[in-house]
Amino acid sequence: MRLALAAVSAVLLAAPVSAALAPGARAPDFTTRGAIAGKVFTVHLADQLKKGPVVLYFFPAAFTSGCNAEARAFAEHVADFKKAGATVIGMSADPVEDLAKFSSSECAGKFAVASAGPAVVSGYDVALGRALKGRQVTSRTSYVIARDGRVAFVHSDMNPAEHVALTLDAVAKLPRR
């Protein structure tokens, strides 16, 4: 199993990525199931935007090396995002049962992760294909969505290293209310 996950991770890191939603585009609203600290709940983007900007980061698959590292990095900086008024939500095509475990372990219970169904994956143009257990895998794409529902920043790169720093910087540049 670990060898298969390593092989998938290697292929994903080599894959070219591009996101269709450009800054200024309206972010598609959605309602899905997510988890925080292992507890499952409903995530509705419009409700989250009422609180402030949202960092919506898509990741390929829970419990893979790059996704684990990225989740830990977001968890380490979630207080900085909150201080800037933003909510962090991780998204993948994994089932919510897997994400509930992931939210407790890799995310340290500090932010929500949610299951991105086909409509969300298509709306945000983050599909990479079916590469893991017959399930669709998403690209590693981070969106900063302003309170008005428009994309303020997008970063799409399979290397998880810069997603946290770049999205935090983008949030800090948003006008505060």
The closest of 85, 99, 129 to 37, measured between CA atoms, is 99
Place of tokens 């008005």: 148
* pTM (2 d.p.): 0.87
DSSP 150: B
What is the model's pLDDT at position 136? 80
Q: What is the pLDDT of residues 23-64, one digit of tens each?
A: 999 999 999 999 999 999 999 999 999 999 999 999 999 999
Q: What is the pLDDT of residues 6-27, one digit of tens each?
A: 434 433 333 334 557 999 999 9
Q: What is the pLDDT of residues 70-118, one digit of tens each?
A: 999 999 999 999 999 999 999 999 999 999 999 999 999 999 999 999 9
Distance between CA atoms of 49 and 148, rounded to whole angstroms?
Answer: 7
**54-58 vs 87-92, strand pairing mode:** parallel
Domain spanning 2-173, CATH class: alpha beta
Distance between CA atoms of 54 and 63, rounded to whole angstroms?
Answer: 23
Q: Note if 107 is an active site residue.
A: no
Percent of the chain with pLDDT over 90: 78
List the catalytic residue out of 67, 91, 120, 152: 67
Domain spans of the chain? 2-173
Amino acid, single-letter form, for residue 47 = D
